Structure formats: C-alpha cells, structure tokens
C-alpha cells in the first residue's frame, strides 16, 4: 500500500526500519535516564548517611526541636534556601506533606530569622516548622552542597535516604513510607 503526498507516491518504511528507529529511541531514553540517576547519586554522595548531628534547633516560632535521636515517626528534613528556584517548586509538596507527616524545613544562607520569617509569610510557608541556618554551618555538617536537599530520617534517627535537587510528591511520599518501615 502506498500513500501519496501531492501526487508523489510515498512508500512507508519497512518494518525492520521502524523497529530499528524504536530500538534507537528506547536506547537513547535509557541512556538519558541512566545519566540522570548517576548524576543524582553522585550529588548525594557527601550527604549525611550515618545520622543527624546532636543539635537543638530554634524554630521561627521560638520553640526548639532536637535534630537527632529517636522519634515517633519518620522525619522529612528539607534543607533549602530562599533564593533557590527549585526549592520554590517543591513548596506545595512540602506544605501538603506537613499536614500529615513530620516535616522540618531548614533555611540555609538566606538571611536572619526576621528575613526568613518575612519570606515564609510571603510564600505561605509560615505554618511550617522552619529553622534558620544563617551561616550554612548545619548544611555543611550534613554534607549539603546544593539546594534543595531532602533527607528522610527513620524513627531511630538514621538517614534512610537523601535526595539532592527536585523530588516529586510521589518520590517524597515513597521515601517517607520506606523510612517508616
């Protein structure tokens, strides 16, 4: 069967050519996925994997929270910065997860507590538990070199997983479930 385009006969490619085209496309997609996974793995190599340091953080509301130690349920520790565009892309997910999970946001290298408080109010984040890492010392201690970095902490206080860069809603929920096992 032939098709015509403005009077010229066009012969469809043989099945073998179509198969080669799809196999090449599948190979290219596979290579792309492998590169993304490899880069994400490499970026997370230095992130704390043994556990969190013994520290007490002061939240924007003035209360304090112990960073390390056993807890009732898994913790999502979001290390971010106010100037980070990718962090803003995750805001809706973080807000939603905070409704039924233990979420702690640490804003690093983003100014004073007052500046971070104003920023949180402007971006509808002021109901979250937010601590300020003004000089980036905690981020450095945790091996965080890029924002956002999300750490998933199990009930024993061990970091069960860490993700550098954007993490989807499903990815965060799955890792929190894994940390809860």
The answer to whether 65 and 59 have CB atoms below 8 angstroms apart is yes
Report yes or no on 95 lying in a domain: yes
72/147 same-domain check: yes
Interaxial angle between packed helices 85-97 and 169-179, expressed in degrees from 0 to 180 and rounded to the nearest 10: 50
pLDDT at 32: 86
pTM > 0.75: yes or no: yes
Residues 61 and 132 in one domain: yes
In this prediction, residue 175 carries a pLDDT of 92
Q: Tens place of pLDDT for every residue, the chain, 181 residues?
A: 555 556 667 788 888 888 888 988 999 998 888 877 676 666 666 677 667 889 899 999 999 999 998 999 999 999 999 999 999 999 999 999 999 999 999 999 999 999 999 999 999 999 999 999 999 999 999 999 899 999 999 999 888 889 999 999 999 999 999 998 7
Let me know if residue 5 belongs to a domain: no
Q: Beta strand 3-5 with 8-10: parallel, antiparallel or unpaired?
A: antiparallel
Residue 18: the pLDDT is 86
pLDDT of residue 3: 55
49: how many CB neighbours lie within 10 A of its CB? 14
Which residue range forms the structural domain that includes residue 124? 56-179
Contacts of 160 (CB under 8 A, 6+ apart): 74, 152, 153, 154, 175, 178, 179
The reply to whether 165 falls in a domain is yes
What pLDDT, on a 0 to 100 scale, did the predictor assign at position 45? 61
Burial of 181 (0-12, 13-18, 19+ CB in 10 A): exposed
Q: Is residue 162 part of a domain?
A: yes
CATH number, domain of 114, equals 3.40.30.10
Number of structural domains in the chain: 2
């Amino acid at each position: 069967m032939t098709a015509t385009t403005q009077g010229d006969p066009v012969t469809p490619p043989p099945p073998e050519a179509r198969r080669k085209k799809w196999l090449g496309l599948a190979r290219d997609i596979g290579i792309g996925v492998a590169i993304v996974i490899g880069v994400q793995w490499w970026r997370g190599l230095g992130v704390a994997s043994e556990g969190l340091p013994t520290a007490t953080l002061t939240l924007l509301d003035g209360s304090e929270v112990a960073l390390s130690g056993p807890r009732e349920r898994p913790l999502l520790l979001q290390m971010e910065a106010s100037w980070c565009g990718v962090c803003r892309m995750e805001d809706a997910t973080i807000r939603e997860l905070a409704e039924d999970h233990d979420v702690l946001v640490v804003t690093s290298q983003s100014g004073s507590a007052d500046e971070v408080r104003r920023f949180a109010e402007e971006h509808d984040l002021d109901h979250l538990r937010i601590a300020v890492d003004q000089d980036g010392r905690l981020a450095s201690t945790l091996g965080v070199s890029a924002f956002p970095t999300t750490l998933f902490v199990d009930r024993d206080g061990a970091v069960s997983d860490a993700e550098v860069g954007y993490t989807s809603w499903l990815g965060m929920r799955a890792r929190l479930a894994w940390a809860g096992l």
